[in-house]
């Protein structure tokens, strides 16, 4: 049997067709320091340059044998397109992702998302750079799967207005919050479809601001889940739902969103009891995520053997692919990460609960 290419592996995986070996990939931020060093790029320079974005993504995947490239890397794109300034930390030697230091809308009643923002967001800078970068990746690295992602409406709202105000407004100004979330949802649908049109092979909807240690499960059910369902339903291509933070109380509701929307997979971060989740969702669910993106690949003190053990634990937790719990941190230790990839491919060659083997 010929080995599948990464893109074949990922496409078959999401189609629930048997694959040759355990996929090792991600749909969340993934740019790795050794790769950008090889390319001679400075970290702050890669975020708003379509070519650098593309090549940094490709080199990160190729250097460590991941099945996917992920575009883009940071979470400020949409907020910047809506008029906020970002900080790139150009003078810092540390790995600092762009942030939005000050938000132009101080209060919820100042928020003004126009039909033009929603319908033409991809024409605005910097959003117009992302499809450009995707096209470069598709041309230069056709063997790799390409994952795009979008933040969910609640988290995106927190990127545009201070999160504490949004959280309080859930109680104090519920209708206003609902209206804003609906506008963000429309915008996110349009962006996701534009990224798929540009060539993304799969897309991940990430809603880290709604974990059960922040919002009540009831609020998740009433306010968040219907919008996540609507967004995922409107997107084509394979799609994944990921929530950061504590998700044990949300597992069934998240899975309901996946099923109602026709999404393919569910992804958790480190704060999830994987075996319990598998028990709750059954063997039909494609479950991803949960490995520690700091401790295993990055921590100075973590040995290669410990990193290998961490991946074995992840696989023993009955995931269907080895996929991180969050964005991969750029400052990985190459020896750890390479060993993690090798372990993922070799540890248990048989089928996983939801996906068979060739």
Partner 1 sequence: MATKEELLEALKDGVINYKEDQVKEAAQAAIDDGHLALEMIMDGLAAGMEVVGELYERHEYFVPEVLMCADALYGGLAILRPHVPKQDGGTVAQVVIGSIQGDVHDIGKNLVKMMFDVAGWEVYDLGRDVPLEKFVEEQMRTDAEVVAMSAMMTTTMLGMKKVIKMIKEKNPNVAIMLGGAPVTQDVAKLFGADGYAESAGNAVAEGIKMISRLREFEKQKK
H helix or E strand, kind and range, residue 37: helix 33-39
Q: Answer yes or no: are the C-beta atoms of 268 and 326 closer than 8 Å.
A: no
CA distance 246 to 318: 19
Q: Out of 176, 295, 342, 348, name the contact with partner 1 by CB under 8 A.
A: 295
Contact (Cβ atoms closer than 8 angstroms) between residue 66 and residue 60: yes
Per rule CB under 8 A, is residue 100 in the interface with partner 1? yes
Q: Is 237 in the site for partner 1 (CB under 8 A)?
A: no
Residue from 213, 276, 305, 346 binding partner 1 (CB under 8 A): 213
Q: Tell me how far apart the alpha carbons of residues 231 and 319 are, in angstroms, rounded to a whole number.
A: 25
User: What's the rounded Cα separation, in Å, for the pair 357 and 353?
Assistant: 11
Instruction: Decide: is 219 part of the binding site for partner 1 (CB under 8 A).
Output: yes
Tell me which stretch binds partner 1 (CB under 8 A): 5-13, 49-57, 86-94, 107-115.
Answer: 86-94
Q: How far is CA 137 from the centre of its chain?
A: 18
The DSSP line for 192-205 is: HHHHHHHT-SEEEE
Helix (H) or strand (E) holding 286: strand 286-289
Figure out which of the listed residues 97, 154, 255, 291 binds partner 1, where binding follows CB under 8 A. 97
> Mask: binding to partner 1, 261-280, rule CB under 8 A, as x and -?
---------x----------
Site membership for partner 1, residue 216 (CB under 8 A): yes
Judged by CB under 8 A, does residue 93 bind partner 1? no
Helix then strand then coil, % of the chain, to nearest 5: 50, 10, 40
- Exposure b/e, 179-191, CB count within 10 A at least 16 = b: ebbebbbbbbbbb
Stretch binding partner 1 (CB under 8 A), from 109-117, 181-189, 214-222, 340-348:
214-222
Give the span between the Cα atoms of 118 and 183, in whole angstroms. Answer: 7
Q: Which of 89, 182, 221, 273 binds partner 1 (CB under 8 A)?
A: 89
Q: Under the criterion CB under 8 A, does residue 164 sit at the interface with partner 1? A: yes
Dist. CA 238–CA 261, nearest whole Å: 11
Interacting stretch for partner 1, rule CB under 8 A, among 3-11, 57-65, 134-142, 329-337? Answer: 329-337
Please report whether residue 37 would count as binding partner 1 according to CB under 8 A: no
CA 26, chain centre distance (Å)? 7
Q: Are 33 and 95 in contact (CB under 8 A)?
A: yes
- State which residue, 249 or 282, has the beta carbon closest to partner 1: 249
154 binds partner 1, rule: CB under 8 A: no
Q: Which of 58, 241, 254, 326 binds partner 1 (CB under 8 A)?
A: 326
Does position 256 bind partner 1 by CB under 8 A?
Answer: no
Q: Is residue 167 part of the contact set for partner 1 (CB under 8 A)? A: yes
Say how many residues touch partner 1, by CB under 8 A. Answer: 39
- Cα separation, 69 vs 245, in Å, equals 24
Contact criterion met (CB below 8 Å) for 331 and 298: yes
For position 180 contacting partner 1 by CB under 8 A, the verdict is no
96: contact with partner 1 by CB under 8 A: yes
Q: Which of 5, 45, 65, 95 binds partner 1 (CB under 8 A)?
A: 95
Contacts to partner 1 by CB under 8 A: 87, 89, 92, 94-97, 99-101, 163-164, 167-168, 170-172, 213-216, 219, 244-246, 249, 270, 293-295, 298-301, 326-327, 329-331
């Amino acid at each position: 049997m010929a080995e599948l290419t990464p893109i074949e592996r990922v496409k078959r995986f999401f189609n629930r067709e048997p694959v040759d070996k355990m996929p090792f990939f991600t749909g969340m931020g993934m740019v790795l320091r050794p790769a950008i060093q090889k390319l001679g790029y400075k970290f702050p320079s890669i975020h708003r340059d379509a070519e650098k974005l593309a090549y940094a993504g490709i080199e990160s995947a190729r250097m460590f044998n991941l099945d996917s490239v992920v575009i883009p890397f940071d979470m400020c794109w949409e907020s910047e397109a809506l008029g906020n300034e970002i900080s790139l930390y150009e003078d810092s030697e540390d790995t600092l992702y762009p942030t939005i230091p000050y938000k132009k809308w101080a209060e919820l009643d100042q928020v003004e998302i126009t039909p033009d923002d929603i319908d033409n967001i991809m024409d605005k800078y910097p959003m117009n750079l992302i499809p450009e970068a995707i096209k470069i990746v598709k041309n230069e690295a056709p063997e790799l799967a390409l994952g795009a992602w979008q933040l969910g409406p609640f988290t995106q709202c927190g990127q545009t207005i201070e999160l504490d105000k949004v959280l309080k407004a859930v109680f104090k100004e519920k209708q206003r919050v609902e209206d804003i979330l609906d506008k963000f949802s429309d915008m996110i649908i349009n962006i996701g479809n534009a990224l798929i049109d540009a060539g993304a092979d799969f897309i991940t909807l990430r809603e880290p601001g709604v974990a059960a240690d922040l919002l009540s499960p009831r609020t998740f059910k009433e306010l968040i889940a219907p919008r996540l369902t609507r967004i995922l339903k409107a997107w084509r291509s394979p799609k994944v739902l990921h929530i950061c933070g504590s998700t044990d109380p949300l597992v069934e509701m998240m899975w309901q969103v996946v099923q109602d929307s026709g999404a393919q997979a569910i992804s958790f971060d480190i704060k999830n009891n994987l075996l319990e989740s598998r028990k709750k969702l059954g063997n039909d669910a494609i479950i991803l995520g949960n490995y520690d993106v700091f401790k295993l690949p990055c921590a100075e003190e973590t040995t290669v053997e410990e990193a290998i053990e961490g991946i074995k634990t992840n696989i023993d937790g009955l995931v269907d692919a080895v996929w991180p719990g969050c964005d991969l941190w750029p400052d990985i230790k190459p020896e750890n990460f390479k060993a993690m990839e090798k372990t993922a491919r070799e540890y248990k060659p048989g089928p996983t609960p939801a996906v068979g083997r060739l």
